[in-house]
Chain A
Amino acid sequence: MDISQLVFYTFAGLAVASSVLMITRRNPVYSVMYLVLTLFSVAAIFVLLEAHFLAALQVVVYAGAILVLFLFVIMLLNLGHEFDPDIRGKFWWVVGFGLGLVLFAELFVLARSVPEAPESDLLARLLADQGAVGMVAEPLFENYVIAVEVTGVLLLVAMVGSVVIAKRKV
């Protein structure tokens, strides 16, 4: 077992463990912290899968912006202490983890049916040619430029919409 596999299993275990801790902590602030840990571990797995730019994006956008937004709302609504216990009873534990197991079994069978990884690694050549950012940016701004523009409009709509929804009625 070489070093990259060791690192992979470490971060995979960390991601799974902290995601389970995330859904079982009673305090929502702890849940956010464990979610940050999960997202960082997934970013590390992205690095091992040669998606360096996406790993940086994951840390900046997810762990940096979205999770801060969650934490900000929790602090704003003062849910960090005096929270009601919100985890459902025994029945829902069985249902939740049972359904989760069934879903995992399905996805596992699906992943097994994916054909074996081919010998030629497409991205390694691209990465050597264009660098980590260039290999994502060039197709993004050539083939998918309309999608990028539409996504910009989506962000604008989301921004205006959230301002209108959260605004106090005057």
Chain B
Amino acid sequence: MTIDIDSNDISLGVVTSGSLSEGVRVRLTNPTTVELVKVGTFVSINGKNLRFFGVITDISLGVSDRNIEYTSIENSNSFVKEVMSGTTAFGEIVVHPMLTLYNKEDIDTAFEKPVPAKTIPNHFSGVSSATEQDIERVFGSESDNVFWIGHPLDMESKLCLNIKELVTRTNGVFGKSGTGKTFLTRLLLIGILQSGSASNLIFDMANEYGWRGFSENVNEVKGLKQLFPSKVAVFSMDEKNSKKRGLTPDYIVKIGLEEIEYGDITILKELLNLTDLALDAVYVLEHHYGKKNWLKMFLALQGRDSISSIAEKLNFHEGTLISLHNRLSRIDRFNFIDKNQSHQSVEKILEYLERGIHVVLEFGRYEHNALAYILVTNLITRRIHQKYVELTETSFTQNKKPKPIVITIEEAHRFLTPSIAPKTIFGTIAREMRKYNVTLLIVDQRPSSIDGEIMSQIGTKFACLLDNDKDVDAVLTGVHGSRKLRSVLASLESKQQALIFGHSIPMPVVIKTREYGTPESYASFGLTNNQGQIEIDKQDLFGET
């Protein structure tokens, strides 16, 4: 990297006043540029000794004499306006210096990581648009662990994300429906997949990640399996539905009634409308019949009499158990539930994950069935949690840490509402599982419904357009400078734009999400876009479909 230490580019303007808390005011050199400058774009400031990296947070029109506002210059000829604009009437921008790129006095700092700015540039420091080199210094350049996620606003430079840093925390993708959450998530998943720093387990509620998805204008886009056939396995809850969509799943997930425990029922409290008393009953039933058989035995009870005799035995009100029976029997009706035996689905998933293969679990026709989604997601995650806690604990003695996994959940607020979050496994993972190498990628459209404690644990937040005040508050709670971010968040375009801030990125940034869905975009992942090859891979893996 070459660094031009002496450059004092004033192509945008010069610093005239300001403060660290409010940002520095920059008078634009060229009066005609005011309409070309946009809030949120990056600039570099050349101080006397330090080079700063900042972001434009406000744009205003300034005058040297208040009387200009009351003088009817609109009646004057164009010459008067031409002379006055840029001299007595000028454009101003407010720039927040976010990072110090390097110290000109100390050339070694030019090769170190940029640090948060703790001071501001001198008066009359030159301000120019950030160069590609500056952006690379701040966000890194594309490499194994650094993934190109999009472009800064109005710039061609690639904005990259350190995936290795990203997966060490629980992350969240938020945005109203139709703002590009799924596309952004897909990119993040590809980033994680390509970097190899973690294995993905994706609970794909709407069948959008595995084989194919759709863009809003009903163009089909490729899913992970099509792009990375050898690295991705699609597990399905519904074989028929998967085949209908042209995919032969790698594994059909079945869940034995035997595998469902008390902890898997508590999360369904709201969905099944269970009372606290009913949950107590589940606990007692589990104790009574044994962990393996309680649900099977309980659901096998036929008729009012048999239920009331159990109620009497366990000292519960008959009505409580009858309604519990009715409600739990909804679980029994799912096709993926096997009454007779337990299945090794979780073990199978873990086996794939340990081999470094990323698993997409498709829900097929249950895509709109919240009960199925939550039951299965919770059940599998609980088992993985247990396994990972064991693995990590043994790893202390064997010095071999399990491969980190990232669990992607959609409609996350259903698992993480304040009332159930403390009790569910997702709450635990969000709070402490990074120690056990398990993190979440939360995808949600109602962040305000997610428990505040969990929101505050989220490492990196990716916020697409949100306009509900509560949701905006929830996303920005506890973030430094949230007042300014709020205006940025509200002014995002409804498509392909996101605000990223938090742990894995040195400063909050608005991006235009990388293109996804065109042949060129697939090629940009370093893949040969050879449909024939993909077909061959497909046949190799699944046989003739």
**Do A and B belong to a common assembly?**
no
Residues of A participating in the B interface, judged by any CB pair closer than 8 Å: none
